[in-house]
């Protein structure tokens, strides 16, 4: 049974897509997908929809029954999106969370494009080498769960996860244990004195311009530091990285656009170019500051 077979009439106009979350007002996804569609000459509608918690599943199923072509899912529904789907990609399964839903013959398919987006931004856009690097990930929430498998696929040499609630970091390390790359989870202070080539801030501390509890680490000569959060001005973590002479520092705007491009590709089979969209968003962000 396909999602369109489950009842309701397909009455959505043309190719309709949306992002579901709560809150949703801040979402830049409509702007990004509109830019992709313009670039590729596609006629489509993409809306940001605030969904109440008790109506998430019914709203998702209703959207696809009415002919919706694809959904992005954001906080706090990524885990529930994964649980709702009929088929789940390995990235979404390992993360236990999905940010993209695609209607297919076999039913609703869940994917997690966050980690792919991050890796694409670091490797392709920023030119950072990931293979063989010693990586530290700070945080153990939903976003970090989504980025670990893609990072491991890039064959980092070692992956250490630290979190202020250390038990969550340990749990993630166990979940992502694998024969090829050593994965360790611990409290921030447990890595004091160690040296890293790649440091990713996956906490939400930057949203309130705070610095998460950070270990007293050393940055290698070509250490790259990435904050999943993006802002008009460098975040507290980016400032901390620059003060320690990180070789390169970036925020998560490129990841946001790249995860959207992966979603667009999954829905429509065409991969939009992202560089112009990232620079336009950056300019708009700076202008709004």
**Part of the chain binding ligand NAP (CB under 6 A), chosen from 55-63, 104-112, 173-181, 210-218:** 210-218
| Residue placing its CB nearer to ligand NAP in the complex, 190 or 213 | 213
Chain positions 235 to 254 lying near ligand NAP, rule: CB under 6 A, are 252
Among candidates 96, 101, 98, 133, which has minimal Cα distance to 112? 98
Residue 28 Cβ vs ligand NAP, minimum distance, rounded to whole Å: 9
Residue 96 binds ligand NAP (CB under 6 A): no
Per CB under 6 A, 256 contacts ligand NAP: yes
Stretch that binds ligand NAP, among 2-10, 160-168, 189-197, 232-240 (CB under 6 A): 160-168
Residues numbered 190-209 forming contacts with ligand NAP, rule: CB under 6 A? 202-205, 207
Stretch binding ligand NAP (CB under 6 A), from 45-53, 161-169, 179-187, 191-199: 161-169
- Name the closest residue to ligand NAP (Cβ): 141
Is residue 114 involved in binding ligand NAP (CB under 6 A)? yes
Binds ligand NAP by CB under 6 A, chosen from 75, 123, 157, 248: 75
Our CB check for ligand NAP shows the closer of 256 and 278 to be: 256
Positions 213 through 232 that interact with ligand NAP (CB under 6 A): 213, 228-230
Nearest C-alpha neighbor of 268 from the set 44, 96, 56: 44
According to the binding rule CB under 6 A, does residue 212 interact with ligand NAP?
yes
> How many angstroms separate the first and last alpha carbons of the chain?
49
Question: What is the footprint of ligand NAP within residues 125-154 (CB under 6 A)?
Answer: 139-144
Shortest Å distance, C-beta 14 to ligand NAP: 27
Q: Is 78 a catalytic residue?
A: yes
DSSP per-residue string spanning the chain: --GGGSSS---S-SSEEEEEESS-TT--HHHHHHHHHHHHT---EEEEEE--GGGHHHHHHHHHHTT--EEEE-TT-HHHHHHH-SEE-HHHHHHT--SEEEEETTEEEEE--HHHHHHHIIIIIS----TT-EEEEE--SHHHHHHHHHHHHTT-SEEEEE-SSHHHHHHHHHHT--SSSEEEEE-GGGGTT-EEEEEEE-SSGGGGTPPPP----EEEEEEEEEESS--SS--HHHHHHHHTT-SEEE-THHHHHHHHHHHHHHHHS-----HHHHHHHHHHHHHT-
Residue number with CB closer to ligand NAP (66 or 244): 244
Q: How far apart are CA 54 and CA 149, in angstroms?
A: 30
> Among residues 25, 28, 78, 120, which one is catalytic?
78
> Which residues are known catalytic residues?
78
Interface with ligand NAP (CB under 6 A): 75, 114, 139-144, 163-165, 168, 202-205, 207, 210, 212-213, 228-230, 252, 255-256, 259
């Amino acid at each position: 049974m396909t999602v369109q077979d489950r009842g309701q009439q397909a009455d959505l106009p043309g190719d309709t897509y949306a992002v579901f979350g709560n809150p949703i007002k801040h979402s830049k996804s409509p702007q990004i997908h509109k830019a992709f569609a313009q670039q590729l000459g596609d006629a489509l509608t993409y809306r940001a929809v605030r969904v109440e918690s008790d109506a998430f599943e019914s709203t998702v199923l209703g959207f696809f029954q009415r002919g919706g072509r694809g959904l992005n899912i954001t906080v706090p529904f990524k885990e529930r999106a994964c649980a709702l789907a009929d088929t789940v990609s390995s990235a979404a399964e390992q993360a236990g969370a999905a940010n993209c839903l695609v209607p297919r013959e076999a039913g609703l398919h869940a994917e997690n494009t966050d980690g792919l987006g991050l890796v694409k931004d670091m490797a392709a856009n920023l030119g950072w080498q990931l293979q063989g690097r010693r990586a530290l990930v700070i945080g153990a929430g939903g976003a970090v769960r989504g980025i670990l498998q893609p990072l491991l696929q890039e064959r980092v040499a070692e992956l250490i996860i630290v979190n202020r609630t250390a038990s969550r970091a340990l749990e993630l390390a166990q979940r992502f244990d694998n024969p090829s790359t050593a994965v360790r989870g611990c409290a921030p202070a447990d890595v004091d004195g160690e040296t890293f080539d790649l440091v990713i801030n996956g906490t939400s501390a930057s949203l309130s311009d705070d610095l998460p509890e950070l270990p007293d680490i050393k940055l290698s000569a070509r250490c790259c530091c990435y904050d999943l959060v993006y802002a008009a001005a460098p975040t507290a973590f980016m400032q901390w990285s620059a003060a320690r002479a990180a070789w390169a520092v970036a925020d998560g705007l490129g990841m946001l656009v790249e995860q959207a491009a992966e979603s667009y590709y999954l829905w429509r089979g065409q991969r939009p170019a992202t560089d112009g969209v990232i620079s336009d968003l950056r300019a708009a962000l700076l202008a709004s500051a």
